Amino acid sequence: MTITDEINVLKEEKNAVILAHYYVNPEIQDIADYIGDSFYLSKVAAGLKEQTIVFCGVSFMGESAKVLNPEKMVLMPDASADCAMAHMVDEDMLKKVRDEYEDLAVVCYINSTASMKALSDVCVTSANAVNIVKALPQKNIFFIPDRNLAHFVAEQVPEKHFVYNEGYCPVHEKISVEEIKKAEKKYPSALILSHPECPKEILEISDYIGSTTGIIKYAGKSENKEFIICTENGVRYKLEQDYPEKKFYFTETEPVCKDMKTITLEKVLHVLETGENEVHVTDTLREGSRKPLERMLELTK
């Protein structure tokens, strides 16, 4: 039996389902029952029938799945896979901003800890942040933790006043304009497709800005045949699978999220066999963080 066969047998036995983000390695995407961006995965996680969820992603993803499914077992193939940006919020600053502004909504990117979600009014992902912020009744928006996504949303929703937090994704932050220009020189007819976690100067030279699913869909619909992709290199697998007639290029220093890449087939098999790395969230934290997550799902219907 191959390791994939073993995983499939155990999945049946344990009534388990495998969710994976586009940034994980191709062999993990191959065994997943659902692959997608953060929004798609949280929507899927909210409506699963299986008793065990194996989440091939980073800790905030498993945590959100557990919050939405308190009665289920959520397993992380690698318990140390984490998102650095999720921790880039200062609770004291959050309290200060709440005290300072009366008509305020704290908008929390899903890439955050459950404790930060619990202090927020609504969660968003890169796929729905603009529409959710537009729909909020409050004039003032404190957007945590990502400053780049916050600036992108602020440009699309000029009627709101934004207060910024200094968080960022170390992977998208490192994508350089110089390297994009170099790629453009080499592939002059390529369009630049970027994730809104990229810094402003990259978004300014992009032809399209969207979530990982947005980027994949745009590349499919576009008449263009070549693209420079400014996000984590895991999306290449789906892009090349779905559009073999098109060409996808990355910057010379390919953006890699090391945490997403720590997940291996062996680790997936191991957690299915042992039930190790189960996600636990306290009742208080679950109650607090469930509301903004459910509000996000409600507002995106």
Chain positions contacting ligand 13P, by CB under 6 A? 37-39, 83, 111, 125-127, 169, 195, 197, 211-212
> Contact, 185 vs 164, CB < 8 A?
no
Question: Which one of 11-19, 129-137, 212-220, 256-264 is the stretch in contact with ligand SF4 (CB under 6 A)?
Answer: 256-264
193 vs 260, which CB is nearer to ligand SF4?
A: 260
- Locate 97 and state its tokens: 């901003």
Residue 84 contact among ligand SF4, ligand 13P, none, beta carbon within 5 to 8 Å by kind: ligand SF4
Under 8 Å between Cβ of 263 and 284? no
Applying CB under 6 A, which part among 42-50, 98-106, 124-132, 254-262 lies near ligand SF4?
Answer: 254-262
Q: Work out what residue 113 binds among ligand 13P, ligand SF4, none; the CB cut-off runs from 5 to 8 Å by kind.
A: none
- 232 touches ligand SF4 (CB under 6 A): yes
Interaction residues for ligand SF4, span 66-95 (CB under 6 A) = 83-85
Asked if 17 is part of the footprint of ligand SF4 (rule: CB under 6 A), the reply reads no
Three-state SS string over 188-254 comes to CCCEEEECCCCCHHHHHCCCEECCHHHHHHHHHHCCCCEEEEECCCCHHHHHHHHCCCCEEECCCCC
Kindly determine how many residues on this chain lie close enough to bind ligand SF4 according to the rule CB under 6 A. 13
Partner in contact with 112, chosen from ligand SF4, ligand 13P, none, beta carbon below 5 to 8 Å by kind: none
Count other C-beta atoms under 10 Å from residue 85's C-beta: 26
Q: Who contacts 167 (Cβ-Cβ below 8 Å, separation ≥6)?
A: 85, 88, 89, 144, 145, 146, 147
Q: How many CB atoms lie within 10 A of CB 184?
A: 16
Q: Which does 78 bind (CB under 5 to 8 A by kind): ligand SF4, ligand 13P, none?
A: none
| CA 53 to the chain's CA centroid | 17
Q: By CB under 6 A, what part of segment 195-214 binds ligand SF4?
A: 197
